[in-house]
Amino acid sequence: MDTVKNIVGLDCGNSSFRTVLGRFDGSTIETEVVDQIPNSMVRTGDYFYWDLLRIYDGFINSLKKVLKKVDRIDSIGVCTWGVDFALFDRHGNMLANPLSYRNTIGEKYLNRLDEQERKELFYQTGILCDKINSVYMVKAMSDKFADICAIADKLLMVPDILNYMLTGVMVNEPSELSTTQIMDSRTRRISSDVCRKFNIPGYWFGDIGEHGKEIGKVQEHIKDELGIDYDIPVICVPSHDTASAVLAIPAKEKNFAFISSGTWSLIGTELDDPIINEQVLESSLTNEVGAFGKITLLKNSAGMFIIQRIKKEYEAYQERESSWNELDKLAESYKGDIPLIDVNDTRFFNPPKMAEEIWSCLKETKQVSGEPDWGTIIRAVYESMACCYAQTISNIEKITGNKFDYIYIVGGGSKNILVNKLTSMRTGKKVIACSKESTALGNIAVQLKYFDESLDLAKIRNIISCSVEMKEYSEPYENSGLVDRYVELAK
């Protein structure tokens, strides 16, 4: 394929939704962020929601901006975060905006499961039981929103909803479905056992999409609004942002370790088939579906969400805006014993004041005393993230039998120089920082298969390798028992 293509990746995250234009010249993809709009949960009453109508409207306006830069849009793909969904009636109407996974109403249904039941669910699906998994929110909604569930006919994940709004076609994308814990990662199909256990109607799920295939064409009324008279295909891409980001790793080797660093840190490796055994379960790893049927064996860990919250609180304290470089300097200025927190402790999931919560934890564990210090807090977060990465990569090496020389970091967090250095230092491995636009780049690259059926995963990764700049971090190994201390702290 040597024809120039103008491909749009719609990339929606927790903190912003972005429209990225990918220009493919036959050998490389050049990306440009055309629009970036802030995104956040909306609280009304007791619950946090996502405003899907605002997101959809923002994307349509962003497509208008794209059309001011190019004569034609050749295709569109959509990816977002995982687990969140909305229900639709039999007429195709969305019954309510999606509830956010930051709500806690699903957690109590997970807590009702004993250890044996949790183990059975893991063995049925390959997915680790986690309070944010969609299955527990579905169960909560059957109680809290019984009237909505009674008339529901279909369940669409957030990117499925946006695809439906664009095309009028309902398709369930597999990488998103795997985050529900309702899909069996071995068969890549909905688990009838899980549906029976949680009284979930099987008819809520429709056709499962195939990566690189067309979902549908952009609807006529949207074409009229955009002022175009040609069809734009909307392509099924790995809609879970992690899956698209992992696809965009420019690795030449078959076995590699990755960290997809954004609001969450997804630490893992890519496999042909899931590994479902006691070691995986005890290591808190999960088998999510990735691009083209691959499996991403990974740990879903707290990521930049914690430090993003701290940055906002620091700015409010200083009564001015700050830069990430300023936060890094505060962390580097700390010279005492390294303080650590369990970044995945539920107390850091969504506290009213993140910095205060961290300082309280450090005082409770007798690692600090006195009044809160910003440098200490930030250093504790960065070091704890690096130790979590080191522990998880070590576990994955033991489980898979693969030894990794490199760790590829993709996503917005790949630009955090201090975390990259600490990760290299605490793991003793080289860190390769890749594109911060990896999610959009993977999204765009998969769309190329729609135009050229001969493209496989290796060929797509070769295109990506030619399209991105990488930076290597190779710090002297320096652990000093930090990772072991983190492991004890996190038990």
Active site residues: 241
Consecutive H or E run containing 153: none
DSSP string for residues in 288-349: EE-GGG-EEEEEEEE-HHHHHHHHHHHHHHHTS---HHHHHHHHHH--SSPP---TT-GGGS
- Residue 421's identity, in one-letter code, is K
In the chain, the largest separation of any two C-alpha atoms, in whole Å, equals 67
Beta carbons of 50 and 84 less than 8 angstroms apart: yes
Contacts of 322 (CB under 8 A, 6+ apart): 311, 314, 315
DSSP string for residues in 188-217: TEE-HHHHHHTT--GGG--PBP-TTSEEEE
Tell me if residue 477 falls in helix, strand or coil: coil
Alpha helices in 107-236 (DSSP H): 107-111, 115-125, 134-144, 146-150, 158-167, 174-177, 192-197, 220-226
Q: What is the distance between the alpha carbons of residues 155 and 400, in angstroms, rounded to a whole number?
A: 34
286-289 and 295-302 as β-strands: parallel, antiparallel, unpaired?
antiparallel
CA distances from 386 to 212, 340, 414, 421 (A): 35, 10, 13, 9
Q: Where are the beta strands (DSSP E) in 14-59?
A: 16-24, 29-38, 42-44, 47-49
Tokens of 305: 């969400």
